[in-house]
Structure 1
Amino acid sequence: MHAPVQPSTELGAVVGNDKLPRSQVISKVWDYIKSNNLQNPENKREIMADDKLKKVFGKDKVTMFEMNKHISAHVKS
């Protein structure tokens, strides 16, 4: 579970290209979301993707619950 994973090029634009434990990948994505003010102010569970996150999520917005599914598709063990 704590084995480092390799982010895809698209995810690497958000979290960096170094291998990281999955928990740190998620943490860095949240840091990016918060620092770029990408949470919907009316519904904090909704993430409004900027250009970098659209490449990871494949759409303009996702819920925080969907986010992990999209991130999983962008990491390799």
Structure 2
Amino acid sequence: MSSTRGVFKGCRALMAAKAATPKPSSAAKSTVKPTPAILKPLPVSPALRQFLGVPEAARTEAVKKVWEYIKLHNLQNPTNKREILCDSKLKTIFEGKDKVGMLEIAKLLSGHFVKTV
């Protein structure tokens, strides 16, 4: 019994020593991560520029603004909330479609972003 007591006592001492050593902080790391492409502001097409009111936008911001417009003007189909009923302003950016599925919005907006090299 006394031999196990000595082992655990030594183990506690090692654990206490490890806990006392300072850990390297994340602020000490100087590596800068690049901005993901989805968050980079890109030039947009004239139709999307007129809708958003800005010459450049990130994809996430564009989708967010479109959803704000949809909610504000109550353009979701009341019987099927996954379906968007386009008004004249949305038709200009959604290829003239009368109805758009909610999962299609990002795909239809991607054509409005000008790719830069």
**Greater share of residues in helix:** 2
Q: 2:50 aligns to what? A: 13
TM-score w.r.t. structure 2 length?
A: 0.60
Establish whether residue 72 from structure 1 lines up as the match of residue 101 from structure 2. Answer: no
Secondary structure class of the residue paired with 1:76: coil
Structure 1 unaligned blocks of 5 or more: none
Which gives a bigger RCO, structure 1 or 2 (Cα 8 Å, sep 6+)?
1
Using structure 1 for the length normalisation, give the TM-score.
0.88
- Report how far residue 16 of structure 1 moved: 1.6
C-alpha separation between the residues in 1 aligned to 2:51 and 2:71? 12
More strand by share: 1
Rg: which structure is higher? 2
Deviates more, 1:8-17 or 1:23-32: 8-17
Deviation at 1:74, TM superposition (A): 1.0
Q: Percent identity?
A: 45
For 2:79, give the aligned amino acid: E
Moved over 6 A (4+): none
Give unmatched runs, 5+ long, in structure 2: 1-36
